[in-house]
């Protein structure tokens, strides 16, 4: 059936309208591209700490300005300063780490301790490889590991070069977080109006669930990483491990990356054993066991406080999001999976649209 002239006009106008919207959206994305990372970080931080802002505001005579100032100052003290100190410690210690690594390589490896061979499954293989490396002499070991030392140096130089960009992103994140603290109610209302217009009550429920998942991840992953890092740093310092500050910074990165502090702490304990400090090696090994096992009950408990979501979904979102988007993906991944699961479940099992429940903010 041929289209009438009026229908053809509407089709042309609609096509040009969609094209114009696409061009405008692409132009806006291109202009805002340098600010996307700070905007995402600021949004994640504000969503995670919004209940704290409400409590502080109620304690400060209902003043949003005072509550915003307090939360922004807390953000600087708790987030900005530790991150800058961690990055500065790692970058400033690049030469020291590389020099220490090369001197360790040049000195050769000691013979493997006897208890390593008794480790189930992997002990004999580790003992065999270790003995081969120790018996080959310092020259052979240095020849094998020298390329990796060079790559490590290049990585530290690259990190130092990107420090200015990181500092700018952190400054913009704090500034945008302060703005969102002050105007968060209006921003949340605008987002809810947009998703209700786009997907109705289901979209509104999805946004509320995404905020809950961000809070759950912030409580479960970030707080657990901070607690484990603090305890690991205390153990390293008390047991007399060299460069405890640098190792603590590396521990925080490992905890955020969901690798955990076990590799570093048990390696430091083994180093104490090889150095002859048997007592402190045993103490650090026992302390490391406590710190590592803490992850099994502290993180699930904190995640459940923030969002009633399956732990498997949270962990898959954290790891997959980090691989896909970097560190900020720790928050984006679980939120995306949680929203997708909710929309699919609602579409499959519920025919009608119910009104969402909960605080939209």
The pLDDT value recorded for residue 50 is 86
Highest mean pLDDT among 43-52, 200-209, 215-224: 43-52
Confidence label for 262 from pLDDT (cuts 50, 70 and 90):
confident
Which of the listed ranges 8-17, 60-69, 93-102, 254-263 does the model predict with the highest average pLDDT? 60-69
Rounded average pLDDT over 92-110: 56
Residues 6 or more apart in contact with residue 323 via CB below 8 angstroms: 329
**Which range among 14-23, 36-45, 156-165, 268-277 shows the weakest confidence by mean pLDDT?**
156-165
Instruction: Write the CB contacts of 302 (distance below 8 Å, at least 6 apart in sequence).
Output: 216, 219, 220, 223, 224
Predicted confidence (pLDDT) per residue in 36-91, tens digit: 878 888 888 888 888 888 899 898 888 888 988 999 898 888 777 766 666 666 55
Residue 132 — very low, low, confident or very high, per pLDDT cuts 50/70/90?
Answer: low
Q: What angle do CA 211, 214, 216 make, to 5 degrees?
A: 110
Length of the chain: 361
What's the pLDDT score for residue 338?
76
What average pLDDT does this structure show over 328-357?
69
7 against 48, higher pLDDT: 48
Would you say residue 98 has pLDDT above 60? no
Q: What is the pLDDT of residues 224-244, one digit of tens each?
A: 888 898 999 899 888 888 878
Supply the pLDDT for residue 23: 92
The model's confidence at residue 4, banded by pLDDT at 50, 70 and 90, is low
> Is residue 160 pLDDT above 50, yes or no?
no
The three-state DSSP-derived secondary structure of the chain is CCCCHHHHHHHHHHHHHHHHHHHHHHHHHHHHHHHHHHHHHHHHHHHHHHHHHHHHHHHCCCCHHHHHHHHHHHHHHHHHHHHHHHHHHHHHCHHHHHHHHHHHHHHCCCCCCHHHHHCCCCHHHHHHHHHHHHHCHHHHHHHHHHHHHHHHHHHHHHHHHCHHHHHHHHHHHHHHHHHHHHHHHHHHHHHHHHHHHHHHHHHHHHHHHHHHHHHHHHHHHHHHHHHHHHHHHHHHHHCCCCCHHHHHHHHHHHHHCCCCCHHHHHHHHHHHHHCCCHHHHHHHHHHHHHHHHHHHHHHHHHHHHHCCCCHHHHHHHHHHHHHHHCCCHHHHHHHHHHHHHHHHHHHHHCCCCCCCCCCCC
Nearest CA-CA partner of 225 in 257, 253, 264, 255: 255
**Of 173 and 354, more confident:** 173
pLDDT of residue 99: 60
With cut-offs at 50, 70 and 90, classify the pLDDT of residue 308. low
pLDDT, one tens digit per residue, over 291-304 is 988 887 887 777 77
For residue 286, what are its two tokens?
């026992």
Mean pLDDT of the chain: 75
Residue 184 is encoded by which pair of tokens? 């968060």
Cβ burial 252-275 (10 Å sphere, 16+ → b, else e): bbbbbeeebbbebbeebbbebbee
Distance (Å, rounded) from C-alpha 33 to C-alpha 20? 20
At 115 the pLDDT is 57
């Amino acid at each position: 059936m041929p289209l009438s002239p009026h229908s053809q006009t509407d089709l042309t106008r609609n096509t040009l309208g969609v094209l114009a919207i696409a061009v405008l959206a692409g132009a806006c994305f291109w202009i805002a591209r340098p600010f996307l990372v700070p905007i995402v970080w600021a949004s994640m931080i504000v969503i995670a700490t919004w209940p704290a802002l409400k409590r502080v505001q109620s304690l400060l005579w209902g003043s949003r300005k005072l509550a915003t100032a307090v939360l922004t100052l807390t953000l600087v003290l708790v987030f900005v300063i530790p991150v800058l100190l961690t990055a500065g410690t790692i970058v400033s210690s690049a030469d020291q780490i590389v020099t220490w690594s090369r001197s360790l390589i040049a000195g050769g490896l000691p013979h493997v301790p006897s208890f390593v061979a008794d480790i189930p499954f992997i002990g004999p293989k580790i003992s065999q490889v270790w003995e081969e490396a120790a018996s080959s002499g310092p020259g052979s070991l240095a020849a094998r590991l020298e390329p990796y030392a060079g790559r490590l140096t290049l990585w530290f130089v690259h990190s130092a070069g990107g420090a200015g960009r990181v500092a700018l992103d952190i400054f913009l994140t704090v500034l945008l977080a302060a703005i969102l603290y002050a105007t968060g109610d209006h921003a949340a209302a605008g987002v809810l109006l947009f998703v209700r217009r786009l997907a109705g009550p289901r979209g509104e429920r999805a946004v509320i669930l995404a905020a809950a998942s961000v809070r759950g991840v912030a409580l479960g992953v970030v707080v657990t990483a901070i607690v484990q890092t603090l305890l690991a740093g205390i153990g390293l310092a008390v047991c007399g491990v060299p460069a405890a500050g640098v190792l603590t910074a590396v521990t925080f990165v490992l905890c955020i990356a969901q690798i955990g502090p076990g590799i570093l702490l048990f390696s430091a304990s083994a180093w104490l054993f090889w150095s002859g400090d048997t007592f402190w090696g045993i103490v650090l090994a026992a302390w490391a066991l406590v710190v590592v096992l803490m992850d099994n009950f502290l993180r699930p408990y904190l995640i459940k406080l923030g969002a009633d979501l399956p732990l498997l979904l949270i962990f898959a979102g954290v790891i997959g999001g980090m691989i896909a988007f970097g560190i900020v993906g720790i928050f984006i991944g679980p939120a995306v999976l949680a929203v997708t699961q909710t929309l699919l479940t609602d579409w499959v099992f519920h025919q009608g649209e119910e009104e969402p429940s909960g605080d939209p903010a």
